[in-house]
Chains A and B, each alone.
Chain A
Amino acid sequence: MPKNMEKEIIEHGFNFNRRRFLSSMSLGIGSVALGSLLMPDLLNGGGLEEDGLTPGIPHFAPKAKRVIYLFQNGAPSQQELFDYKPKLREMLGQEIPPSVRGSQRLTGMTANQASFPLVGSFVDFKQYGQSQAWVSNLMPYTSKIVDDLCFVKSMYTEAINHDPALTFLQTGSQQGNRPSMGSWLSYGLGNENKNLPNFTVLLSRGVGNGQGVYSKLWSNGFLDSVHQGVQFSKGEDPVLYLRDPEGMDRHERRDMLDNLSQLNELSYQEFGDPEIAAKIKQYEMAYRMQTAVPEVMDLSKESDDIIKLYGPECLVPGTYAANCLLARKLSENGVRFVQLYHQGWDQHGNLPFEITKQAMDVDQASAALVTDLKQRGLLDETLVIWGGEFGRTSYTQGKLTADNYGRDHHPRCFTIWMAGGGIKPGMVYGETDELGYNIAQNPVHVHDFQATVLHQLGLNHEKLIFKHLGRRYRLTDVSGKVVKDIIS
C-alpha cells in the first residue's frame, strides 16, 4: 500500500475523534429533536407502528367480528324495493321539476334525453314489523325480517358509473389500486381461522342487465398480499390451484413444502423482502386449506330446514342462494369478510321484468342468511350488508309505456340495509324527498358508511392507516364519520 494512502486512512480514522463525534451528535440530535416537533412521527418509523397499532388487533372491543357483504352489483332501484314514493305514481309522466334535478351531472345515457318524465313503482309497498318499514311486494321474505334490519335510505356516492362507484364503495377510491374493504379488515383484525383465507369472494349472476366485476375489487392494493380476496368459484375446484397434482399425496406435499420453506427462509434472511415471508405463509395456508375448503364447500350435509330456509336453489352451485349458504358457512368458520356479488341489477330498460327476476334471486336467500345467523347466535357478531353501488333515477330512461320503463344511474340517494354486528335492528335511517331524488334527512356518504363498518369491527377508521409511497392511506381517505345513530 502506498504510504500516502495509508496516511489518509489513518487520518480518516482520526476524523472521527471524540470531540467531533460528540459535536456532530449533539447537532444531529438537536436537529432530529427539532424535526420531530415538526413531524411528530419522525422517530417512529413507517407503517403502523407510528400509531402504536399492532396489525391484527382491534383498536377497541368490537361489536362485530365478521362481515358478509351482499353486494347487489349494477345498482338495484330503490324506488321498486325499499324507498316508497307514492308521489311518483301521482306524477306519472310529468317532467321532473328543474329545482329538484338541479345542475346534476347525468350519465351519457340520459344526458341527451329531451324530457325526464317521472315514473312511480310498478309494484305496491306495504309496511311491516314493529319498525313499520316500507317494503315492496318484490321482497316477501325480506319483509318478514324487517325488525332485524336497519335500512339506510340516505346513502349517497360521488360516482355516476358502475365501475368507479363500485370501486369507490369497495376501496374508498374511484380509481383502482387501493386495498378493498375486506383487505383492510383482514389487515386490521388478523385471522380468526388460520386454515381459511380471511377474505373470500363469491360471484353469481341474475338474468337482468349485468355489469362486470373484476378482481381489482378484491385486491390487497399496497397491503401485504396475504390480505387479498380469494375467489371461491363453483364447480369442482372452488379455489383454483389448490388441488395436489395427480400422483402426489399429502405427505409428499408436506415434504416439498418443508424444503421449499427452508429455501424461502434463506432468501428472506438475505433480502428481507416481506413478500417472501408472505409467500411462505400462503403456501402453508394453502396446505391447510386443502382439507378445510372441501369441508366448508360441502353442502350435502345441510338439513332440510336449511334448504327450505334458503330455497331450493341453494344447492345449485353458482347461484346467489348457494353463495349465501356458503357465506354463512365461511363466516361461521371464522372468515372475516365474505364478499358476494350478484350481477344483473342495471335496469336501464325493461325494469319491471328484470327487477322482478333479480328480486326473486336474492330475496329469500338474503333473508335466510340473516335468520340463519340469528338462530346460531351469530348475528350479534356478524355484520350483514345488502346494497348496490348507487341508486336509480326517479325519471324514466328511454320510453315510458304503460307497463315498461327504465331508470338511469343516480348517485344522490340509494338504499342499503344492514343487520347484526351491533347495528340497531328494526330501524329506518335517513329520508329522501317525496320524489325520491334528493336526500331530505341524515345523509350518509360512502366514507361514513365505511367508517361505520370499520367502527363496528373495533377499528377507528382514522387510525387504520398504511403508509405507502410517502403518504398515509385509509379506507376512508380523508373524511368519513361514524354514523352513531344506527349503532345499538
Chain B
Amino acid sequence: MHLRFKVFAEQLLVASNIFIVFLLLFESKLVIPAWLQTIGRMHPLILHFPIVILLLAMLLEFFRFKPEYASNQFFRNFLQNLLLVGALFAGVTVIMGLFLSREEGYSGDTLLYHKWTGAGIFFLSSIIYLVRNTGWYNAPLAKAGALLTVVSLVLTGHFGAALTHGDNFIWEPVSAEKEMAAVPLEQAVVFEHVILPILDQKCTSCHNPDKLKGELILTDAQSILKGGKSGKLFEPGNPDISLLLQRVHLPVEEKKHMPPSGKAQLTLQEISLLTLWVKDNADFKRKVTELPETDSLRILASTLLKTPESDEEKFDFPEADEKAIAGLNTDYRTISAVARQSPALAVNIYNRSAYSVKQLDELKEIRKQIVSLNLNKLPVKDADIKSVSQFENLRRLDLNFTDITAPGLKELASLKHLHSLTLSGTKVNFKDLQAVIPTLKSLKTVSVWDTGLSAEDVDKLQKANKQITVIGGFKDDGTNPLQLNPPQVKNASTIFGESVALQLRHPIKGVQIRFTMDGTEPDSVKSPLFDNRTVLKENTTIKAKAYKDGWYGSELATFDFFRSTLKPDSVRLLFPLNRVHQAEADKTFFNGKLGAIGANNPAWANNWAGVRNNDMGFISEFKKPVVISSVGVHYMIEEDTGIFPPESVEVWGGSSPDNMKLLTKFKAALPSKGDKPTLKTVEGKFKPQSVSYLKIIARPLSKIPDWHRSKGNRALLLVDEMFLN
C-alpha cells in the first residue's frame, strides 16, 4: 500500500475507535436522521466483509512467527495491510450496526450480546494492528489474539443471525413438526397449541422480545394483549375491527400488510383460525374440547392438531434384523412391518392344516417387535398361549374360532400392552372373561360374539368393565323371522326326452320343499313333500315352495318342464334371423336352452332367435325316419315392447325336401293391452306321421292390433325352443 494511504488509513482507524467509544457511551441519547438510517440499514450488507477479511487475517496472524513466513517480505506486508483493511471494515460495520440498533424494534439480550461482541471485534483487531510490531508481542500472544478474534466473530455472527431470522432458525425444519404432533386433542388448548404455533411460524421472527418491530411482541399472552405501537391488536369477540386481522387482510402490496411481502404468508386456514379465535373472545385458557362439537373453531383446530401421523404409536424397542424377518416369512406365515421406519411387526398365520405351535416358537428372535398377531381360525390350544405370551409388546391379538379356553386366557395377563383381543367363536364363557379382563390393564376392546356368552352376559360384562368395549354380535332370537328364498330346480335342462327325475333343491339345510303338479299353489300341510322320487313323463308345470321352522315360507316358484322326444340330426335356416337375435342360429331351437324375460338377463341376449321383417323357418333332417304327432313352439310375449306371438305356424313333413306336405297350421292367442310379459307354448297336433324331413315356418304378426301404440307395424317374434313329439 502506498505509504500516504496507509498513514491516512491508520489515522482513520484511531479516529473510528474514538468515534465508536463515543457512540457507545452516548448511545441512548442518539437521534438518527433518516439518511443515516439508510446507512445503518446497510449493516447486514457490509458485515460480511470484516468477517471474511478478519478471518483470513487472523489465520495468517496465527502462523505469523513461523520462520519461513516471518522472513517473507510479501507475507509481512500483505498481512499488515489485510489487518488494517479488516479492522477498518469492522469499524464501519459497528458504526452502521449502532445506527441500525437505534431503529425501533431492536432490543433485548441478543442485541446486547451482538453489540458488545461486535464492538469487541473491532477493538481487538485495532489493538492487534497497533501493537503487533512492538517488541513484546510474541508468538503465543499473536495466537491467543487471533483465536479470540475468531471466536468473537463466530459469536457475533450467530447473535446477529438470531436477531434477523429468529432464535431457532436453523433447527426449526427438523424440530418444529415433532413438537406439534405431541399434543393429544383432549389436552390441547386453543391458544397455546393452535394460535401460538401460527404466530410462532409466521410472526415472531420480527415480533419477539429481541426484535420488537412496531413495539409488538407476539410470543406470550401478556404481550399480545398489550399490543404494539399502533394500539391493541384486537377487540375480543369482534374480528371485523381488530387490528391484527386488518393487517392480515390488507393487500400484499400494501406496506402495512402483515406478514410483509417476501415473508411466508398466512394460509387461508390460519387466517380463519385467527379470526375465529378473536371472535371467540380471544380466550387464552380454553381447551379445544371445551368448545361445542359443531363450533367451526373446534372443527378447524382439531383437524389441524391431527396431523396424519400424530396418533401413531412410538415404540421404544429396537428394529429387528431384516434378514431374520425375511427368513421367518413363509407361505403360511406373513411377517410385515407395520409402517416404514417403524420397528413394529405384524404377524399373520394361515392354514389350519399347516399350523403348529412351532410357528410361534420360531418367532423368538423377533418376539419384542411383534405388536399384532392374527391366529384366527387356527387350532390354537391353551398350551400354545405360553408361546404367545413371549410377545411382550403385543397390542392386538386375534384368536377368533380357536380352541382357547380359560387356562389359555389366563396366560394373556402377562401382555401388558394388549389393547385389542378377539375371541369370537371360541368356547370362553362369562366367568372366564370376568376373571381375566381386570388383569389385562391396557385392554380397550374385546369381541366375544358366538361364544358361551349370551346377550345378557355381554351386557353384564360391559357394565362391569366400563373402561373397555365389549363387542357382542348378531344372534337370532327368533323374534324376526325372515322369508325363505324359493326352491331351485337343479335339472340341467327343463326340456327332457321320454322321462326325467325332478330335482328340486334349496341351499339352506333342513328346508322342506312342497310342490304341486296340477297348477294349484302348494301349501305347507297338504301338498306333497319333495323327496327326490318324482319322475316326469309329460309337459308339467311344477309349483313349489320352501318351508322351515323359524322362517316364513318362501314365495312360489314355478318351473315348466317340456317333453321333447325327437331331436333332428341337422337344421338348416330358410330365412335370416335379426341381427341382434341370432341366438345360436340353426342350433337354437333344439339346444335345450330356454330364454328368459328381461334384457339384462344373459338368457335374454343369448337364447332368443328373433325375426320381424321375414318369416322364421327351417328344414330339419332326421337320418332315420321318425313318427311325429305334435310340434310345440315356445315364445315370448312382451306387448309393451312389441314382442308378439306368431301369427301362424305351419308344419310340413315328408320323406325328402322336395316331397313335403302340410301337416298342420296353427295360431297362437294374442295378448291384450297391459298383459305382463310371459313365456308361452303353442302346440299343433296332427295324425302321427313318419317323416325324414320336417319344415317349420313361423310368421311374425304382420299388423300389431289397434290398441297398441305401434299399431299396424310388424311385431317381433322371439322363439327359443321347439318341442317335437
Contact = CB atoms under 8 A, between A and B. Distances in A.
A281 to B, nearest CB: 12
A316 interface: yes
Contacts of A344: 600
A207 B600 contact: yes
A315 B471 contact: no
B473 A375 contact: yes
Contacts of B488: 316
Contacts of B528: none
Interface residues of A, number: 56
Contact of B508 (A58, A315, A376, A455): A315
B336 A57 contact: yes
Contact of A316 (B336, B476, B507): B507
Given A57-B336, A58-B338, A210-B600, A305 B475 contact: yes
Interface string A303-316: 11101110111011
A85 interface: no
Contact of A305 (B308, B450, B484): B450
A207 B507 contact: no
Interface in B407-438: 420-422, 424-425
Nearest to B447: A377
A455 B310 CA distance: 13
Contacts of A376: 376, 400, 422, 424-425, 447, 449, 473
Interface in B176-230: none
Interface string A262-285: 000000000000000000000000
A205 B600 contact: yes
Nearest to A343: B600
B340 A313 contact: no
Contacts of A205: 600
A377 B445 contact: yes
A195 B485 contact: no
A307 B474 CA distance: 11
How many chain B residues sit at the interface, stated as a range, is 35 or more
A371 interface: yes
Contacts of A243: none
Contacts of A484: 303, 306
B308 A334 contact: no
Contacts of B137: none
Nearest to B307: A484
B308 A192 contact: no
A54 interface: yes
Interface string A185-201: 00000111111000000
B445 A380 contact: yes
Given A61-B313, A376-B424, A333 B350 contact: yes
Contact of B507 (A292, A315, A377): A315
Interface in A314-362: 315-316, 332-334, 343-344
B336 A460 contact: no
A57 B339 contact: yes
A312 B508 contact: yes
A312 B446 CA distance: 29
B471 to A, nearest CB: 6
Nearest to A304: B476
B485 A61 contact: no
A487 B299 CA distance: 12
B336 A62 contact: no
Contacts of A334: 334, 348, 350, 374
Nearest to A482: B308
Contact of A374 (B331, B350, B446, B471): B471
Contacts of B425: 376
Given A304-B476, A333-B350, A377 B424 contact: yes
A376 B447 CA distance: 6
B582 interface: no
A60 B476 contact: no
Contacts of A192: 334, 336, 348
B154 interface: no
Interface string A464-482: 0000000000000000001
B320 interface: no
Nearest to A54: B340
A209 interface: yes
Interface in B464-482: 471-476, 482
B338 A61 contact: yes
Contacts of A485: 299, 303
Nearest to A460: B308
A207 B598 contact: yes
Contact of A292 (B309, B348, B351, B476): B351
B720 interface: no
Interface in B620-662: none
A245 B629 CA distance: 45
A378 to B, nearest CB: 8
B69 interface: no
B342 interface: yes
B600 A309 contact: no
Interface string A375-412: 11110100000000000000000000000000000000
Contacts of A129: none
B312 interface: yes
B398 interface: yes
B336 A190 contact: yes
Contacts of A28: none
Interface of B: 299, 303, 306, 308-309, 312-313, 331-332, 334, 336-340, 342, 344, 348, 350-351, 374, 376-377, 398, 400, 420-422, 424-425, 445-447, 449-450, 471-476, 482-485, 488, 507-508, 551, 598, 600
Given A62-B338, A193-B350, A377-B446, 13 more contacts: A52-B340, A58-B339, A190-B336, A194-B332, A195-B331, A195-B350, A207-B598, A311-B482, A344-B600, A374-B447, A375-B449, A376-B449, A378-B422
14 contacts: A56-B336, A60-B312, A60-B340, A61-B313, A192-B336, A193-B348, A207-B598, A288-B331, A334-B374, A343-B600, A344-B600, A368-B474, A376-B376, A376-B425
Q: Which 10 A-B pairs have the closest CB atoms?
A: A375-B473, A377-B422, A377-B447, A315-B507, A375-B449, A312-B485, A61-B339, A210-B600, A484-B303, A308-B476
Interface of A: 52-54, 56-62, 190-195, 205, 207-210, 288, 291-292, 303-305, 307-309, 311-313, 315-316, 332-334, 343-344, 368, 371-372, 374-378, 380, 455, 458, 460, 482, 484-485, 487
